[in-house]
A and B are shown apart, each in its own frame.
Chain A
Amino acid sequence: MSLQFIVDGLLTGSMIGLGAIGVTLTYSILRFSNFAHGDFMAWGTYATLTVVSAIGAMFGKIAPIAPLSFGWPLLVALVVGMAFTALLALLLDKVLFSRLRSQGQAIIVVMASFGASMALRSLLEFTFTSRPTYFSRAIQIAMPVGFGIRITPDQIALLLLTAVLVLGVHLLMTRTQTGRSMQALSQNAALARIVGIDVASVVRVTWIIGAALACVAGVMIGILVQIRPFMGFDMLLPMFAAAILGGIGSIPGAVLGGLIIGLAEAGAVQLIGAEWRAAVSFIILMAVLFVRPIGLFGVKER
């Protein structure tokens, strides 16, 4: 068995982990599992792609930052895409989720997110067709780093980006007033209100963080794999499995869960073949639900 699966697994795991942060935050603070989260990913990626093409049309061909496959336009587009995805999530919350939440039936919100997910994904298919596209068709040379492992500059950059983002969100959650308000609301909503926490603003921040990270994860998939309308929907099961494995509400847990699932998937691809990849997250999910339903870092629900 080649050790290459470690690099592949860490990369897949980063994508899953970044997505799972959003899933775990919505689950613990808004208290529903958002089936539309994968489609935030896809929408963010297509938004980023659109901005990249727009910049390309305005400024002509721009040389990539050596040795990466992309230049500054992608970085600018990524920021725009993150903002766009956050707006999309806020809009969806305003017209749909918040209204159903106020009716007080959590499971109806889940169902609405399922409907919204179908509509969002098909709208992408309608606009961009289901044909896969790419940010860049250039082929990068993978550098050997020993032990039979090869890695491309893009992959190194994206792993670093993931680490920075996860650290950033972790610091935000633990060191800032906003983050502490979010934790308070997820642990005890009534008490959080009594001490005067502005629930509406916490809800907004939750959507913004979740959606922006989903966009980054989607763009990572776009750079390393390909861009398709179904790209986010296919990530849904791994993301849920990662969030539950890590323990609902825990950001380090979601990321660690993502990495574990990513590594397991990459290992399974080597051992039994790529076609069974999607079953890995299901097996892990079932194992967690049977053995330790609160996950690695979860707290028992009161």
Chain B
Amino acid sequence: MDLLGYGAFFLTTALIFSLVTLGLNLQWGLTGLFNVGLAGFVAIGAYTSALLTTPDDAARLGGFGLPILVGWAGATVAGGIAAALTGMATLRLRSDYLAITTFGVAVVVQLVALNAQKLTGGPFGIGFIPRPFGGLAETPLLFNLSNLAVVAAVTLIAYLALEHLARSPWGRVLKALREDERAAISLGKSARFYRVQAFAVGGAIMALAGALQAHFTGFIAPDNYLPILTFQVWVMLIVGGSGSNLGAVIGSILVWGIWAGSGTLTSVLFSPEQQARAASLQIVAIGVMLCVILLIRPKGLFGDRPRRTRFGKRAKAAVGESNSSS
């Protein structure tokens, strides 16, 4: 029974990661937009939903005690707006600028979470976030399973919607832009407009995942949204294969399994005072794994890597290739 409960708990976390990875896959896999600040968007979702749904707290703004579904909707909208603004600022520029800006977004969100006590509760975070099926908390197994069912349903809906989007005319434009920007533009598609849309939808999905996680654990703090989260999700997408939604889901479960498993292993093998060091070794291993996959199997497990990305032209301008002025 315990094992089943743990399995449900593990899968719930893994599926929440899958949702973030699906958002990233829309941004990077389908559209070729590089987001290294996704932890920031996840945090925006978690905090928005927490603010909207927690009971009133004199120490900070809100909470407004609204229903959980309103919180989730609010989180999705907030994440979408944040991503759209980021996209509008940078998507007319070189691809690297988007990377640097998203990195900055994550830094600033982290700062706000830590320092804007009135809004975010500061380093101590926000507690008492209402949990769906909180009434079932007496029987942990039932509680875990019902959480899993909710998260699985949301992930499935997102998956099906994204699959549909990828095949829709909209998705085809994104793919066309990724494969050959000039051809797509010459057919009258506004590259920037479509990219901002894709980036915003991706950000919205990440924020929704953040909100799900917040309501699943009932407590959030700035430490949940460090760069390591961004890094984990990237590894999940690359392992699963960027471009494939199925790969995003399976990669997430697989990498989360490796992560949780090696975490358990280090806690068994190392004494408590050595565990912080052992945990850093875990990150080294995952970092090396990312680089190795990029080197030897950039497609990942299920990837449909484009022959050329939107940056292919500029990539060729890199050292060792030709650089015709354009």
Contact = CB atoms under 8 A, between A and B. Distances in A.
- Place the interface of chain A in its size category: 35 or more
B294 A190 contact: no
A94 to B, nearest CB: 12
A179 interface: no
Contacts of A279: 107-108, 111
A32 B96 contact: yes
A116 B114 contact: no
B264 interface: no
Nearest to B315: A106
A257 to B, nearest CB: 13
A70 interface: no
Given A119-B284, A244-B100, A110 B34 contact: yes
A276 B238 CA distance: 34
A69 interface: no
Contacts of B294: 100, 108, 111-112, 115
Q: Is the interface of B mostly helix, strand, loop or mixed?
A: helix
Contact of B276 (A108, A123, A130): A130
A106 B105 CA distance: 22
Interface residues of B, number: 58
Interface stretch (B200-208, B246-254, B285-293): B285-293
B286 to A, nearest CB: 8
A96 B295 contact: yes
B277 A129 contact: yes
B197 interface: no
A102 B96 CA distance: 18
A106 B111 contact: no
B90 to A, nearest CB: 6
A31 interface: yes
Interface stretch (B44-52, B216-224, B316-324): B316-324
A293 B93 contact: yes
B10 interface: no
A281 B298 CA distance: 33
Interface in A89-111: 96, 99-108, 110-111
Contacts of A191: 323
B99 A33 contact: yes
A237 B107 contact: yes
A158 B104 CA distance: 28
B159 interface: no
B312 A105 contact: yes
B277 A126 contact: yes
A61 interface: no
B130 interface: no
A122 B111 contact: no
Contacts of B324: 190
Contacts of A29: 319
B115 interface: yes
B89 interface: yes
A114 B100 CA distance: 11
Contacts of A43: none
Highest count of chain A CB atoms <10 Å: which of B89, B100, B228: B100
Contacts of B168: none
B318 A199 contact: no
Nearest to B110: A278
Contacts of A244: 97, 100
A188 B287 contact: no
A296 B97 CA distance: 16
Contact of A110 (B96, B282, B283, B284): B96
22 contacts: A30-B318, A31-B318, A33-B99, A96-B295, A103-B298, A104-B321, A105-B315, A107-B32, A110-B99, A112-B291, A117-B287, A119-B283, A125-B277, A129-B276, A129-B277, A188-B323, A188-B325, A189-B320, A190-B324, A199-B319, A275-B115, A302-B325
Given A106-B96, A275-B114, A278-B108, 9 more contacts: A29-B319, A115-B288, A123-B280, A129-B277, A188-B325, A236-B103, A244-B97, A279-B107, A279-B108
6 closest Cβ pairs, A-B complex: A119-B287, A115-B290, A122-B283, A125-B280, A106-B315, A122-B280
